[in-house]
Amino acid sequence: MIFALPKFRQLLGVAALAALVTFAPAGCNSSKRITKANVNEVTEGMSKKQVESILGLPTAVPSPDPLLKRTTYIYTQGKESVTIVFKDDKVQSKASTLSE
């Protein structure tokens, strides 16, 4: 039984890693497809959390502008992109190159 303990710990570590990979948030938007319909759901004044619930996590977040209190979220899907600008953590504007 003493020899089984290291194997059990190893198996437990592998199981924990598999669970982490399975349930990790989609940082690359693999679970959300960017469409005109869901981009249209994003409206001025929404919070970052509300936008993320619709579009998922952004593909890129360039450095925020602390003087103007602006943050930009960029979502890319192939050659198409959606750019959402937040001011004081609320949607100020959005632009899209979606063709569908």
- Write the DSSP symbol of residue 65: B
Q: Which two tokens stand for residue 54?
A: 């619709």
What would the pLDDT profile of 78-88 be if each residue is shown by its tens digit? Answer: 999 999 999 99
Q: Which two tokens stand for residue 90?
A: 């609320």
Q: 30 φ, ψ to 5°?
A: -70, -25
Mean pLDDT of the chain: 78
CATH number 3.30.1450.10 is the correct assignment for the domain at 26-96: yes
> pTM for the complete prediction?
0.66
